Every structure is written in structure tokens, then in C-alpha cells.
Amino acid sequence: MHYRRLGGSGLQVSALGLGTNAFGKRANAKDSKRVIDTAIELGITFLDTANIYARTASETILGEALLGRREHVILATKAGLPTGDGPYDRGSSRHHLMRELEGSLQRLQTDYIDLYQIHTFDPDTPLEETLRTLEDMVSSGKVRYIGASNYAAWELMKALGISDRLALPRYVSMQTSYSLADRTPEQELVPLCLDQGVGIIPYFPLAGGILSGKYTSADQIPSGSRADTDPNFTRFLQDGALTLGQQLAELAEERSYTPSALALAWLMHQPAVSSVIVGATRPEQLLENAASLEIELDDELMQALDELSAETRYGKPFAVYRL
């Protein structure tokens, strides 16, 4: 396993991280624990979850699976997206964040979060309030580092400017949709993060499985796939992404790689990327994705990947989650 600094911080994270969105939803507790065990055996130390994943089940499963070995991993969670329909069930106000942090700590069975992330920008809460709340969390020892997710570049820069002006903790990381199927962060977000020392943590690095080559058309859904278990995901099965997935599969076959491993390796070679989080419902998927760590991308292959995906740099984001 390779380890990298998270942005400009001193925190080291594994180049390949484990995303746990499927835990408690597409993977039961037993299967999820097998995936966690495999991840730790592979040297994956960065585990990412959120308070809303599987309606809190993901955090609960992680907490139980990490008993006795919590100190060996970097645990990241998030808050801010809706947890219910009430007026206090969303956003990044002090009221909401304080409540959600305590809930996450209980479910994760820990007394601190390594990386606490604001899940999306809250237009109704002043950034000063959010950042001062996060400062209190850090000062209390319950949070060690803070990060953002789904912020536009100007929103992230505004937050960093406020932190610098008021001597508040800075966001050290940014989660965003980023993959060969979505290179829109390269327009503004990547240059900003490089300039400001913010580490990018891509989500949907395989475009929800589209870059694995498993989807040949929107009408042929593989059994057990994300689109099969979550009908809402079919909205992502657009012609452009599906074509890219098939082209990537052909290129990977020429080089004797799997398309998933090749897509992940490309992301790991992008500037500002600190850790690429991938989900898994079976240990075998994780082992396949770990092969990305051994791929060396030569100039010819990088150029081929760049040409295949060039249009996605200027298209619409593959995914973005906002209030």
C-alpha cells in the first residue's frame, strides 16, 4: 500500500480508501465486516462513511467491526445532508452539527473522528458559524481534521479565506465526484486545491460501476449491480458514460488490466488527489481494485486515457449533492 499526505496536513492516508455507502444496504453486517477485514489486511487505513449512509447503519457496522483496532485506521465521516424531514435535520448550523457529531461518535463507538466533513455547502448558514463550530469540535478533541464535500470552488475558497482571516481550522480535504467519466473538477477545483494545499478525495471514482465495463446499455442491467439494487441509479446510465465505459474496457484489455484498476490508477496519478475511495460489497471486489496500486501509467497510456475522456472535462458533473 502507498500512503500520502492529506492535502497540506501532516495526516497520512492510504492511496486507496474504503467507501462504506453500501454497508447496511447492499451488503449486510457480516459481508461488510469481511470487506473491512480485507481492507485492513491490504493496508487500507482510510475508511470513509457518513451519518446518512444506510440510515446510520453504515456507521454502526463500522463501529462494531473496528472494536479493538480503532487506532489502526483513519476514520472519516460526514454531516450536513438531510437526516429527516424536520427543520433541524439538515445543514451545517451549530445546532445540527453538534447533534450529528455526538450521534456519529456513539454509532462508531469512538471518542474522536479523524476527519469530519461537511457533506455539502449550506446556503442558509454563515460559513463563520460552521467553521467556529468545527473549531470547537477540534478544540474538544472530538475531531482532529476537517474537510468539505460537494462545495463549488468559490465556496471552498471563501471558507479557506475565512479560516485564514479568523485563525480557524482550515479544510484539509475536499470530496467531489471525479473520474474519467467526470473531469469537471479540473476546470477550477483542482487548481484551487493545488494552490491552497487541499487534498482531493474523489467519490464515484468508477462512476458507480460504469467504468468497470459491466454496463453495456441502459436496458441490460447486471444482476446485483448498483443499478439493479437501486433503481434511482439508472439515471446515470447515459450514452456518453456507457460508451466511455466500453472504450475503457477495450483499452484495459489491450494492456491486460481490468478497466476498474486502470480507471483507479489514472485517478491516483492526478495532482491534488490524496486518496481514492472505492466501495465494495465483497472482498473480491476490493482485491481487484487494489491491483490499481501496481499499475504504472506510461506517457502513451496516459495520453490514450486523456483522449478517451477529454469531453467529460467540460460536460456536466457526473454527480453533485446539494441541499
Q: Are 206 and 260 in contact (CB under 8 A)?
A: yes
Distances (CA, A) of 250 to 213, 237, 269, 291, 305: 9, 19, 21, 18, 12
SS3 213: coil
Distances (CA, A) of 255 to 260, 262, 270, 291: 13, 9, 20, 13
* Other Cβ atoms within 10 Å of 32 Cβ, number: 25
> Would residue 215 show up in a list of annotated catalytic residues for this protein?
no
On the CB side of 161, CA atoms within 13 Å amount to: 7
Distances (CA, A) of 235 to 319, 320, 322: 10, 13, 17
Given the residues 3, 53, 112, 203, the one annotated as active site: 53
Tell me how far apart the alpha carbons of residues 13 and 15 are, in angstroms, rounded to a whole number.
6
Tell me how far apart the alpha carbons of residues 53 and 50 are, in angstroms, rounded to a whole number.
5
> Active-site residues: which are they?
53
